[in-house]
Homo-oligomer: A and B are copies of this chain.
Amino acid sequence: MIDLLARQSCCLSAQEISERLGESGRSVGLASVYRALELLHELALVQRVDLGDGNTRYEPIQPGGEHHHHAVCDRCGRVTAFEDRSLETALERLAGRLHHSISAHEVVIHGNCERCSERA
């Protein structure tokens, strides 16, 4: 399961992880998936991602520190990943000013994806 997660570039829900593991032979119960994810989260190896659809997703934290954020299409639900250096810079600068340590941050954008914008 660690392998599966590590191979993902973007976020997966616990259900998806369980399903994919089942498809590839090694069936794993949901409870174990959640247990593993909790552990990995404590070890700072995966990040929780909450896109507001009621499902918590998880994605691996890149050792290099690079990471992306997510844009959710409110029409079709598609999730698009993006990265933006100036956004990160702004967040880093913010860290100095804030009376709050920052161990993780998450930016979620809502709107319409390219495809849905065209036929708006």
Is residue A24 contacting chain B, with contact meaning CB distance below 8 A? no
B-side contacts of A114, CB under 8 Å: 99-100
Interface size class of A (residues with CB under 8 A): 35 or more
User: Chain A 93-113 against B: per-residue CB contact (8 Å), 1 yes, 0 no?
Assistant: 110011111111111111111
B-side contacts of A54, CB under 8 Å: 56
B-side contacts of A97, CB under 8 Å: 84
Is residue A52 contacting chain B, with contact meaning CB distance below 8 A? yes
Q: Are B117 and A109 in contact (CB under 8 A)?
A: no
Q: Which residue of B lies closest to A109 (CB)?
A: B105
Interchain CA distance A71-B100 in the complex, whole Å: 7
Which residue numbers of A lie inside 8 Å of B, CB to CB?
A: 48, 50-52, 54, 56, 71, 73-74, 80, 82, 84, 86-87, 89-91, 93-94, 97-114, 117
Closest 4 CB pairs of A and B: A101-B111, A99-B114, A104-B110, A90-B90
